[in-house]
Amino acid sequence: MIIINFKKYKTGKEAVKLAKTCEKYKAICAVLPEDVPIVSREVKTPVYYQYIKDKVPYKKAKGTLLNHSDHPISNKTIKRRLKIAKKAGLKTVVCCTNTKRAKEIDKMKPDYIAVEPKELIGGKISVSKARPELIEHTVKAVKTKVLCGAGINTRQDIKTALKLGAKGVLVASAVAKAKQPAKKLAELTKDLNKR
């Protein structure tokens, strides 16, 4: 599983264009809430909200990120928004920065927990290189499926994360800011979709 978080790098028509590229490589798109309607009309690949508030305005999305470092929220708010998301039929990916926090979130029963050390987000060194033990410890500490993100830039970063027990990755700047997103996605997903 690979989720491309568009952040604010790609919006509107540019988000649609990148989503079509993601579709070709079987990647999930996490887009700004205002872009969900236009993007989900144009592609068949799953479209996730980057975040939701206290209602889900557009029903064609397939999931949502919650508590991403760009939109941190309290445990109380995570619980409330998980209920809202589940009621709307959305898959849920709750982000956190460490294993301790992952254990707290695990009790809330999201579909996935994404562990992303804040200091590595947007960088060139991946969590699977810099902090492999974080992925391993989190996978062992929780019952929920674990994804990882932060600095994921290469196919090897993804392969290492999967070997450590992660079920997938979140990628943002490596694809959304790439001059040739299709080339980058082809590189990242090579061999992954054969699993």
pLDDT given at position 121: 86
- Whether residue 92 is predicted with pLDDT greater than 70 in this model: the reply is yes
Catalytic site residues?
Answer: 68, 116
Q: How far apart are CA 147 and CA 46, in angstroms?
A: 17
pLDDT in tens, 127-159: 999 999 999 999 999 999 999 999 999 999 999
What are the C-alpha distances in Å from 45 to residues 27, 122, 176?
A: 7, 24, 16
Pairwise CA distance, residues 48 & 51, whole Å: 8
Structural domains present in the chain = 2-194 (3.20.20.70)
pLDDT tens column, 109-122: 999 999 999 888 88
Q: Note the pTM of the prediction, 2 decimals.
A: 0.94
